[in-house]
Amino acid sequence: MKSPIFIVGANRSGTTLLRLILNAHSRIAIPEEVVYFGSFMAGVPIEKWRSPGLSEEAYSDFVHDFVFKKCAPLEGVNNQDVINQILQDKPYDFSKPYRYMLESWAVTHKKQRWGEKTPGNLFYADILLEMFPDARFIHVVRDPRAGVSSMMNTTFFPKDIVFNALSRHKFMTEGRAILEKSVPADQRMSLRYEDLVINPEETIQDLCSFLQEPFEPSMMAFYKDSSRYMKQDAATSFNQAATKPISVEMLNKWKKKLTESDIAQIESLCSSEMKEFEYEFENKPLNVGKRSEIILKKLYWDWQVKRHRHIRHFTVKSLMFARFLNRIQKVLGVGETSNPKHAKS
C-alpha cells in the first residue's frame, strides 16, 4: 500500500472534519481514531517499539486487547484473521498490530491507502516516522480561542480556560517541535482550520497535491455519509458539525461564547502561536485577579507535567487544587474561583 497518512494536532482543531473529507476519497481510508500510541504500551517504553521484549503470551494479550477493544469502531474487519496475521509475522514489534489493522480496514472498504487520525499522535511523530519512513503528516492548526471554546463544550476536557489553553500551547510548542524536528519538511504539511473553512476546495486541492493523490470533487460532499464513519455520540453531539456542509459560521462562534476575560487569558497563554499563525489579537484587558490565577494554575500545571514527564502527551485534566487555589486567593485578596467537582488528573 502507498504511504500512510497521519492527521495530528490539538484536540478540537478540525481533525475530524479533515479525516472525513479525506475518507471520502476513493483511494483513502481513515477510520475513527484508534488511540494506539502512548508513552508506554504493554508496560514497555514506546521507544523500544522495535524489540519490546515481550513473551509470546504477553504480546498475544496485547494484540488481542488492541484489536478487540481499541479498534472496536473498525467494523467489517475479521478481527481473528488480523490477529493471526499479526502473530505470524515475526519478530514481534509494535508497528505490526497498528499497520495490519488499519490496512485490513482499508481493504474492507476497497481503498488503496490507509490513514489514522489521533490528535495526540503529534507527540509520537518521531516514532511513527521510524515505523513508517514514507508516511505523510498533516498538522491541523486552529485559532486557540476557538479551540479552547470548543473544548469547554465537551465532557472530556476540564471546564477551565487556563488548563485548556495550556493544553493547546503544549501541543503547539512541545508537540509541534517533535514533528518538525523528526519529520522532513516534504513529508509534513500545516493546515489552518480557517483556510479549510474559508477556501475548502482550494485547500483540499493543495492537500491532495501534497499527498500525491488526484483531487476528487466528491470529497466536498463528505457530509452525505459522514455519520457512517463516526460513533453515534460524536455524530450527534460534539462532532455534529462534521455531518453538515462546511460553513463559515463556525469560525467566530467563540466570540459569542467566551467572555472578555476568557479571551484575554487565552491570548496571554497562546500568544506565540497566535503571532506565528497570524491570528489577530482582540487585546482584551486582563485584571490583576486573573493574572494571579494564571500564575497559580501555571505553577500547578508545570508541577503536574514534571511529575508525569515520562508521559509525552500528558496534560492536566483535573481541578483537584481548586480549594487550595481559593484559599490562596482569599489570602491575596484577589477573589475566588469556582469550586468544581474534583476529578483525578
| Domain annotation for the chain: domains and CATH numbers | 5-142+184-251 (3.40.50.300), 153-177+260-345 (no CATH)
What pLDDT, in 10s, does the model give residues 150-172?
999 888 888 999 999 999 999 99
**In whole angstroms, how far apart are CA 87 and each of 1, 53, 90, 114, 159?**
20, 15, 7, 21, 43
Average pLDDT for 57-62 = 97
pLDDT for the residue 234: 55
pLDDT for the residue 324: 52
What is the maximum alpha-carbon separation in the chain? 66
| Contact (Cβ atoms closer than 8 angstroms) between residue 18 and residue 105 | no
Average pLDDT for 13-31 = 95
pLDDT for the residue 201: 95
Instruction: Report the share of the chain in percent with pLDDT over 70.
Output: 88
DSSP string, 22-78: HHTSTTEE--S------SEETTEEGGGTT-----HHHHHHHHHHIIIIITTT-TT--
pLDDT for the residue 339: 38
Question: How many whole angstroms separate alpha carbon 293 and alpha carbon 284?
Answer: 17
pLDDT for the residue 229: 76
What pLDDT, in 10s, does the model give residues 190-199?
999 999 999 9
pLDDT for the residue 336: 43
What pLDDT, in 10s, does the model give residues 218-270?
999 998 887 777 666 554 565 667 778 888 988 999 999 999 999 999 999 99
Average pLDDT for 112-132 = 97
pLDDT for the residue 35: 86
pLDDT for the residue 243: 73
pLDDT for the residue 332: 54
Please, what is the angle between helix 161-170 and helix 260-269, to 10°? 30
Grid cell listed for 103 = 490496512
pLDDT for the residue 244: 81
Grid cell listed for 161 = 480556560
| Contact (Cβ atoms closer than 8 angstroms) between residue 109 and residue 23 | no
| Contact (Cβ atoms closer than 8 angstroms) between residue 115 and residue 30 | yes
Q: 204-231 b/e with 16+ CB inside 10 Å = b?
A: beebbebbebebeeebeebbeebbebbe
Task: Considering only residues 226 and 83, tell me which one the structure prediction assigns the higher pLDDT.
Answer: 83
Measured from the Cβ of residue 7, the count of other Cβ atoms closer than 10 Å reads 27
Average pLDDT for 40-48 = 95
The SS3 of residue 136 is strand
Does residue 342 surpass a pLDDT of 70? no
Average pLDDT for 174-201 = 97
